[in-house]
Amino acid sequence: MKKWEENVRRVVPYTPGEQPNVPGMIKLNTNENPYPPAPGVLQALAEMDAERFRLYPDPASSVLVEALADYYHRPKEQFFVGVGSDDVLAMAFQTFFNSKKPILFPDITYSFYPVWADLFGIPYEQPALDEAFQVVREDYQRENGGIVFPNPNAPTGLYMEPAGVEEILCRNPDVVVIVDEAYVDFAGPSAMELIDRYENLLVVQTFSKSRSMAGMRIGFAVGNPVLIQYLNDVKYSFNSYTMSQAALELGAACVRDGAYFQETQKKIIAARERTKEKLLELGFSFPDSRANFIFARHESCSASEMFEALKKQNIYVRHFDAPRIRDYLRITIGTDEQMDILIGFLREYLKR
Ligand SMILES: *Cc1c(COP(=O)(O)O)cnc(C)c1O
């Protein structure tokens, strides 16, 4: 090691899912939405005034914050926006997890959490999910410096009803609890309804999955205005202009096209339920996902073999070579047609 390298901050980065670019591929590996962005987004894009790009964007991101406040019928002081929910979450880790006590998140969860904790020097513990991959709520009663978990959880897809989230909040009034709702639009009620009663609750959502906008990088947080103010203080200490003018305008247009959002949401939920039935017939088992993916294992065929076989057909799914989950494939819900091709291939493949 060179002398200067002793002063380098070295980290083990997060591994994002592959972004292959193969014509005709069926991409079910990163939980993107198979449907195009809303017609309202395409129209806003066509009408966009590029002259505006000469200027810095609005640091308060008002056009997007106001569209969200309108859509969710909440005051705009409760909203914070960022460059995808990864940016919002990273900012929230830095802002709220500043204790010497460990923060808590499940052993099987979004694998970016330990990466941010390591990067920011935040101690953490990972209480184990039970055998059925459920969160054991009693494990979140010990002393801690904050709590974060996705709901529905990733990559299991299991959803906790608001009463369960509330139980965790009740027991942890002295720390910030972050609920990462990347998939909640496919699941059930958001914990957003609890923020008026729990000033320590931060709910984070994204445009990447349910809103077909992963490439635009838009995420947001909802919480008590005091929490939001603290987040903004850290953001303005880091980079005042995180979101581009294009992302702000297109994000606002996306939120305003609520009808299309609800329609694609319904189609994906229907395809998910249909895919579950077919997978069961083929000998797969899985936690009862409420997200836009299914985390499935086969009774006799290894996940890594299926992963490779699917890839040869240009069908991309995700496999995590990690303890407790290496027998599973995470399969994003695509269009009905894509799911039919996947199921058709698996049916033949498993006959060998
Ligand atoms: C996809 C995902 C995110 C990040 O989404 P972006 O908004 O695209 O950054 C955050 N948390 C979980 C659990 C996710 O699955």
- Ligand 1 centroid vs 54 CA: distance in angstroms? 30
Q: Does position 106 have pLDDT exceeding 90, yes or no?
A: yes
Q: Does position 18 have pLDDT exceeding 90, yes or no?
A: no
Q: Work out the mean pLDDT of the chain and round it to a whole number.
A: 96
105, 207, 209, 290, best to mutate for ligand 1 pocket (most atoms within 8 Å of CB): 209
pLDDT of res. 16:
85
Overall average pLDDT of the 226-240 stretch: 96
Domains, in order of start, for the chain: 24-36+259-349 (3.90.1150.10), 39-257 (3.40.640.10)
Query: Integer distance in angstroms from the first to the last C-alpha of the chain?
Result: 51
Overall average pLDDT of the 201-213 stretch: 98
pLDDT of res. 212:
98
- Ligand 1 centroid vs 352 CA: distance in angstroms? 37
Position in ligand 1 atom list of the atom nearest CA 207? 7
In contact, 207 and 252? CB cutoff 8 Å: no
pLDDT of res. 59:
93
129-141 burial code (b ≥16 CB/10 A, e <16): beeebebeeebbe
pLDDT of res. 104:
98
**pLDDT-derived band of residue 146, with 50, 70 and 90 as boundaries?**
very high
Torsion from C-alpha of 155, 312, 308, 109, nearest 10 degrees:
-10
30, 85, 211, 318, best to mutate for ligand 1 pocket (most atoms within 8 Å of CB): 85
Residue whose C-alpha is closest to residue 208's, from 70, 87, 65: 87
CA–CA separation, 114 and 267 (whole Å): 34
pLDDT of res. 281:
97
pLDDT of res. 21:
86
Position in ligand 1 atom list of the atom nearest CA 110? 13
Q: What is the pTM of this model?
A: 0.97
